[in-house]
Amino acid sequence: MEFSETVRRRRMVRNYLPDPVPADVLDRVLDRARRAPSAGFTQAQSFVAVTGADRRAEIARLAHEDEYVAAGFDPWLSLAPVHVIICTSEAAYRARYSEPDKAGAADAQDWPVPYWYVDAGASLMLLLLAAVDEGLAAGFAGSHSLAGIQELLGIPPEVMPIGLVTLGYPAPDRRSGSLARGWKPIEGVVHRERW
Ligand SMILES: Cc1cc2nc3c(=O)[nH]c(=O)nc-3n(C[C@H](O)[C@H](O)[C@H](O)COP(=O)(O)O)c2cc1C
């Protein structure tokens, strides 16, 4: 698929067919997500891929899916055949920037922007686009229960889950009300030569 077409087709999908995602397809999507750039090539982005129905149901419970369904939405998380929890690690960046080739840089540990979140976002985007490229759909769910997900999945304390991506073959879904905002015109977001 042309890259521009992949970008155009991508949108957050919150309802899926029950068909499982073949293991080789999931492996390719994850392999692409791990190719995201990372500051100092720290590569602290990591992923927990969950396909077991019981565990997905528990994640859905932690994310208060029942309240979401009561509000009229599809049972998004529990029915999605795959959850990928995207993780990052501030500790890994601090360790990397203590290595000899980085430690000499002034303020090496004083980032004006937390790169661990920047790089996790880059992985998130690659994951979403790789899914479309494989004929899948994907959706990102933030969660207020990340600590619960961390415990459930045995994610070590120095690693931080930032949210989860659902993957599967798309079913008709109810789009986010936020989309009514429409895309801002390009002049509203791109400034040329100066703001
Ligand atoms: C950081 C981030 C967090 C989001 N969290 C949620 C979420 O918790 N639940 C949800 O339904 N959508 C969530 N979204 C999806 C956005 O609402 C969606 O990307 C936006 O409305 C644009 O729609 P589109 O991605 O389908 O083009 C999130 C998106 C991002 C980038």
Residue from 6, 59, 88, 176 whose mutation best tests the ligand 1 pocket (most atoms within 8 A of CB): 176
Q: Burial, 152: exposed, middle or buried (Cβ in 10 Å; 0-12, 13-18, 19+)?
A: middle
Listed residue (17, 25, 45, 34) closest to 133, CA to CA: 25
pLDDT computed for residue 108 by the predictor:
72
pLDDT computed for residue 106 by the predictor:
60
Listed residue (104, 80, 109, 106) closest to 92, CA to CA: 109
Count the Cβ atoms, other than its own, within 10 Å of residue 11: 16
Taking the centre of ligand 1 as the mean of its atom positions, its distance from the CA of residue 140, in whole angstroms, is 6
Taking the centre of ligand 1 as the mean of its atom positions, its distance from the CA of residue 92, in whole angstroms, is 27
Is residue 178 in contact with ligand 1, taking CB distance under 6 Å? yes
Count the Cβ atoms, other than its own, within 10 Å of residue 4: 8
pLDDT computed for residue 105 by the predictor:
67
Q: Does domain 3-189 have CATH number 1.20.140.90?
A: no
Is residue 64 in contact with ligand 1, taking CB distance under 6 Å? no
pLDDT computed for residue 85 by the predictor:
98
The domains of the chain are located at: 3-189
pLDDT computed for residue 56 by the predictor:
97
Q: What is the pLDDT along the chain (195 residues), one digit of tens a residue?
A: 899 999 999 999 999 999 999 999 999 999 999 999 999 999 999 999 999 999 999 999 999 999 989 988 889 999 999 999 999 999 999 999 999 998 766 667 788 899 999 999 999 999 999 999 999 999 999 988 999 999 999 999 999 999 999 999 999 988 888 999 999 999 999 999 999
**Cα 153 to Cα 149: distance, rounded to the nearest angstrom:** 6
Taking the centre of ligand 1 as the mean of its atom positions, its distance from the CA of residue 158, in whole angstroms, is 26
pLDDT computed for residue 74 by the predictor:
84
**Cα 59 to Cα 148: distance, rounded to the nearest angstrom:** 8
pLDDT computed for residue 104 by the predictor:
65
Quick one: tokens of 153? 């999945």
Q: Which residue has the tokens 């293991």?
A: 23
